[in-house]
A and B are shown apart, each in its own frame.
Chain A
Amino acid sequence: MDNEITFEVIDREGQVHQIQGPTDMSFSLMEICRASDLPIEGTCGGMALCASCHCYINSDHALPSKGPDEEAMLSEALHVKENSRLTCQIPLTQALDGLSITIAPES
């Protein structure tokens, strides 16, 4: 389908999940992962206020750069690495097709 992308998510047990999602519904990466029953909680609903959607980006996809809210939250979160992102701040677009992410440990 035209507006459908596929990406992979590695959960905390190392299991790989192939996830499909539409790019024309204004979803974020967090929302589609949460709706796919992955352990990405998105407690604050997607406001970069809780870091419960923290993931590591494994592939070298060009992603939108971090906004000040995401920078601030990541500065307080645990287990932060160079490739850390809050998936609630990444809109689901064609550019994400084939992306690979790993869910960060629970904090």
Chain B
Amino acid sequence: MIQTDILIIGAGPTGLFAVFEAGLLKLRCHLIDSLPQPGGQCAEIYPKKPIYDIPAQPEILAGDLIDNLMQQIAPFEPGFTLGEQAETIEKTAEGHFIVTTDKGTQHQAPVIAIAGGLGTFTPRKPELNNLAFYENKGVDYMIKAPEKYRNKNVLIAGGGDSALDWTIYLAEIAASVTLVHRRSEFRGALDSVDKIQVLKDQGKINIIAPAEVTALKGQSQLESVTINCEGVEQHLATDYFIPLFGLTPKLGPIAQWGLTLEKNAIKVDNSLDYQTNIPGIYAIGDVNTYPGKLKLILCGFHEATLMCQSAFQRIYPNKRNILKYTTVSGVEGFDGSKKEAPKSIIKKIQ
């Protein structure tokens, strides 16, 4: 069982920044996220898009914002359970919470902070008969452990960034990679589109476009797919079919946790500390709602900060907490590191 002080559900910008504010109060954090990497929407949907309303950052790419946050919180050694969805919650006799994921990983903490954004990203699935039958039997919607595709025949469908990025990555390790897309145009970062062209020219990947996968075949495991290319059908043997048609967020199992919801968001007490109707469970960032709520990263940072102060009092009801400034007290990491302002020199000038 993973034990921590604040269990954060959702590793987007708000959840990540909460680790920093908690760390200043000597509280340890662990984060759960259904995506295989931290960063939430910023990393998954628009890593290459600039954001212009982060205070003191005139322009920053969403992906860089996440990289910076990861660097900022590194001294506080956060734990991560990635690629798993928080599913159930129960309360222990001493008032702690136990959160179990869909993979059965258990986490225990006195405080839960839900920073789930718009919800769990669930893959958009193509409309194919018997698709569900082949799930985990050759059909994957997300690539969590690329090694499983080593020396296998892989077919990727899609024309966006993740389809391109994974085609490039798997071209090196898979026995063969075929990319199928409904159009001949692909949308991605310029260098990935160029790389795909080079791989195709070198014969390292196959591209079938404009085309669509129309049927899946196989006894107990996926064995082949039918592809319709401008009215002409062809059958292709493959070990894996990976449709990458983007992810849509759904609030998911959290909706069943007994929290007061309003329009698919969790109601919190914003006049105090962003606590939900269940004491000890907080909701911060895009997942919460209160009068005047704005879904902005900068508001999530503020909410995370106030949440941590309240969480501290909940965990240590008899300890006094006084606001400290990092310019004065520096940052002491759990890893033994210490960052502080250089001391001024006092010297007589002749």
Is A75 touching B159 in the complex (CB atoms < 8 A)? yes
A-B contact pairs, 22 of them (CB 8 A): A41-B118, A43-B118, A43-B249, A45-B46, A47-B45, A49-B45, A49-B246, A50-B248, A51-B246, A52-B248, A69-B187, A71-B185, A72-B183, A72-B185, A72-B187, A73-B187, A75-B159, A75-B181, A75-B183, A76-B159, A76-B182, A78-B124
For residue B335, CB closer than 8 A to chain A, the reply is no
Instruction: For the complex formed, measure the closest distance between the CB of B42 and the CB atoms of chain A, giving whole angstroms.
Output: 11
Is B185 touching A43 in the complex (CB atoms < 8 A)? no
Contacts of B248 in A (CB 8 A): 43, 50, 52, 107
Residue of A nearest to B245 (CB): A76
A-B pairs, 9 with minimum CB distance: A72-B187, A75-B183, A75-B182, A76-B245, A44-B45, A49-B45, A107-B124, A43-B118, A47-B46
Contacts of B183 in A (CB 8 A): 71-72, 75
Residue of A nearest to B210 (CB): A75
- Known contacts A49-B45, A75-B182; A68/B127 CB under 8 A: no
For residue B49, CB closer than 8 A to chain A, the reply is yes
For residue B160, CB closer than 8 A to chain A, the reply is yes
B-binding residues in A (CB < 8 A):
37, 41, 43-45, 47, 49-52, 68-69, 71-73, 75-76, 78, 107
How far is A73 from B246 in the complex, measured between Cα atoms in Å?
A: 10
Instruction: For the complex formed, measure the closest distance between the CB of A84 and the CB atoms of chain B, giving whole angstroms.
Output: 14
Contacts of B23 in A (CB 8 A): none
Is B46 touching A49 in the complex (CB atoms < 8 A)? yes
State which residues 178-219 of B face A: CB under 8 Å: 181-183, 185, 187
Residue of A nearest to B186 (CB): A72
Instruction: For the complex formed, measure the closest distance between the CB of B43 and the CB atoms of chain A, giving whole angstroms.
Output: 13
Contact with A along B150-188 (1 / 0, CB 8 A): 000000001110000000000000000000011101010
Contacts of A107 in B (CB 8 A): 124, 248
Contacts of A72 in B (CB 8 A): 159-160, 183, 185, 187
Residue of B nearest to A69 (CB): B187
Contacts of B185 in A (CB 8 A): 68, 71-72
Residue of A nearest to B117 (CB): A43
Contacts of B181 in A (CB 8 A): 75
How far is A107 from B158 in the complex, measured between Cα atoms in Å?
A: 16
* Interface band, chain B: 20 to 34
- Known contacts A43-B249, A107-B248; A76/B158 CB under 8 A: yes
State which residues 35-76 of B face A: CB under 8 Å: 41, 45-46, 49
How far is A91 from B263 in the complex, measured between Cα atoms in Å?
A: 26
Contacts of A75 in B (CB 8 A): 159, 181-183
Residue of A nearest to B250 (CB): A106
Residue of B nearest to A107 (CB): B124
How far is A68 from B186 in the complex, measured between Cα atoms in Å?
A: 10
Is B246 touching A50 in the complex (CB atoms < 8 A)? yes
How far is A76 from B185 in the complex, measured between Cα atoms in Å?
A: 12
Instruction: Name the residue among A37, A43, A50, A76 with the largest chain B CB count within 10 angstroms.
Output: A76
Contacts of B49 in A (CB 8 A): 47
How far is A107 from B182 in the complex, measured between Cα atoms in Å?
A: 17
How far is A72 from B159 in the complex, measured between Cα atoms in Å?
A: 8
Instruction: For the complex formed, measure the closest distance between the CB of B157 and the CB atoms of chain A, giving whole angstroms.
Output: 9
Contact with A along B20-42 (1 / 0, CB 8 A): 00000000000000000000010
How far is A51 from B246 in the complex, measured between Cα atoms in Å?
A: 10
Contacts of B41 in A (CB 8 A): 43-44
Instruction: For the complex formed, measure the closest distance between the CB of B12 and the CB atoms of chain A, giving whole angstroms.
Output: 13
Contacts of A41 in B (CB 8 A): 118
Taking A43-B41, A49-B246 as known contacts, 13 extra A-B pairs with beta carbons closer than 8 A to each other, sorted by chain A number, are A43-B45, A43-B118, A47-B45, A47-B49, A50-B246, A50-B248, A52-B248, A69-B187, A72-B187, A75-B183, A76-B246, A78-B127, A107-B124
How far is A45 from B160 in the complex, measured between Cα atoms in Å?
A: 18
Contacts of B182 in A (CB 8 A): 75-76
